[in-house]
Amino acid sequence: MMKARVFSALCVLFSLAIAEATEKETAELHIEKAFTAIAAGEPQQAKAILINTLEHHPNFHLARMVYADLIAAQAQLSPLLTDPLGQDKVRILGLAEEASARLKPRAKNVDKLPANIVKLSHNYRHVLLFDAQYSRLYVFENHEAAPRLIADYYASAGKDGMGKESEGDNRTPSGVYKITYTLDDDQLPELYGEAAYVLNYPNRWDQTQHRSGSGIWLHGVPRITYSRPPETSRGCVVTSNAVIQQLKQTINPLQTSVVLATQVDWLDEEQWREDQTKLLSVIGQWQSDWQSLDVEQYLKHYSSSYQDMKLDYRQMLSQTRRNAKKKTMIKVTIKNIDLLRYSAEPQRYVAHFDQDYKSNNYNISYRKQQIWQREGTDWKIIFEGRV
């Protein structure tokens, strides 16, 4: 009998622990449900949701403010989020901006795919995609070489928006980056929360464009708050500590790409696969023309704005033509292609693949990176080099 009671008590405690963990993991969902209840004219339901949220996240200032506004509305007083007063006006306006960002409509359709993620090889289990327009951080898993959405969270960017160019411009970079390593809680000032994932900004393409600055991270927030208003960082992507902890289950440094986008375009699967086929065909034609020994046809794939870590366009033309004179045979094999959209305007995609090159006088294998840019009706290479 005693064993049965102990077992029963343990089951109850375990159930409570699971429930508490679930509550802690769903603060994002709770605030959405509260907003939905308010929009549906169900203030009592919204208050119940918010009370539950604040029990587990007393530092969730937006939830507390929305709850206070519901009480104010009940007493026929002006809501603070829409009519802030006094010394806290700036802070309340920030909370209002966060509420607005969280309320923006966004793609929820599981049958839609992001144009920003075109193809994934087995090198990637997950890809993170930040949508600055809607202040959302999407987590995708690699499902049979296609992205499958498994989570999305509120996140904020730099004070002056996207498109970082220089040190101190308070902008978040636009492009495709890798997480190079993790900084844990004991390595960070409190400002950055419980962990930070360090991005490889400036990447090689950024360096050719003379972009400066450093210390671009995906990080958490001080423990006194749950989240930050949109566009309040010095260039980093910022989300809650709860999300940062959940991402530890997903992020594998050097094997997790982060796409930082001004906007995300969502496509039906047919259009997504059509775009993928077209882009892979472009790369395939480049490969074929290289093997053909027709150096001028091969060079047509390169933009006049081409720049790599060592050569500009004219230098690359000269070197390639000089090397071509010595070739009687070229065989190029490429595999494990990853293809991600680097930017929407101008249209750019970054491709990574394993390249095996054999010729009559030189053989080499390595993983290559190319950036392709749309120029009129053609696609041209503006950068390439080793990964």
DSSP labels for 306-345? -B-SS-BHHHHHHHHHHHHTT-S-EEEEEEEEEEEEEETT
- Residues 51, 138 within the same domain: no
Sequence-distant (6+) residues with CB within 8 A of 317 are 299, 302
Q: Is the dihedral of CA 179, 180, 185, 187 positive or negative?
A: negative
- Between CA 276 and CA 38 the distance in angstroms is 41
Residues of the chain with confidence (pLDDT) below 50: 1-25
CA distance 76 to 83: 13
Peptide bond into 346 cis (omega under 30): yes
**62 and 230 in contact (C-beta within 8 Å)?**
no
User: Domain end: 54, 70, 103, which one?
Assistant: 103
pLDDT value, residue 76? 81
Q: Is the domain of 259 the same as that of 116?
A: yes
> What is the reported pLDDT for 50?
94
Same domain, 124 and 220: yes
Burial class (CB in 10 A: 0-12, 13-18, 19+), 269: exposed
Q: Which residue among 103, 131, 158 closes a domain?
A: 103
Pair 245, 276 in one domain:
no
Q: How far is CA 263 from the centre of its chain?
A: 11
Same domain, 232 and 120: yes
CATH code of 225's domain: 2.40.440.10
Longest CA–CA span in the chain (Å) reads 90
Domain harbouring 344, CATH code: 3.10.450.50
259-294 pLDDT, tens digit per residue, is 999 999 999 999 999 999 999 999 999 999 999 999
Residue 15 has a pLDDT of: 36
Bridge partners of 177, per DSSP, are 258
**Do 260 and 116 belong to one domain?**
yes
Q: Are residues 124 and 248 in the same domain?
A: yes
Quote the domain boundaries for residue 211. 112-264
Q: What is the pLDDT of residue 10?
A: 31
- Pairing type for strands 146-154 and 363-375 reads unpaired
Q: What is the pLDDT at residue 19?
A: 37
Does 291 lie in the same domain as 176?
no
Residues 38 and 75 in one domain: yes
Confidence (pLDDT) at 6: 34
132 with 240, same domain: the answer is yes
pLDDT at 103: 86
- Total count of domains within the chain: 3
Residues 90 and 198 in one domain: no
Whole-number Å distance between alpha carbons of 51 and 57: 10
Residue 245 corresponds to which tokens in the numbers above?
A: 């902890």
Q: Hey, what are 108's tokens?
A: 């929820």
Asked which of 234, 264, 294 is the last residue of a domain, the reply is 264
CA separation for the pair 387, 92 (Å, rounded): 45
The contacts of residue 187 (CB under 8 Å, 6+ apart) are none
Q: What span, in angstroms and rounded, lies between the C-alpha atoms of 71 and 49?
A: 14
Number of neighbouring beta carbons within 10 Å of residue 284: 12
- Name the helix (H) or strand (E) containing 181: strand 175-184
Q: Are residues 213 and 134 in the same domain?
A: yes
**Cα angle at 135 between 93 and 160, to 5 degrees?**
65
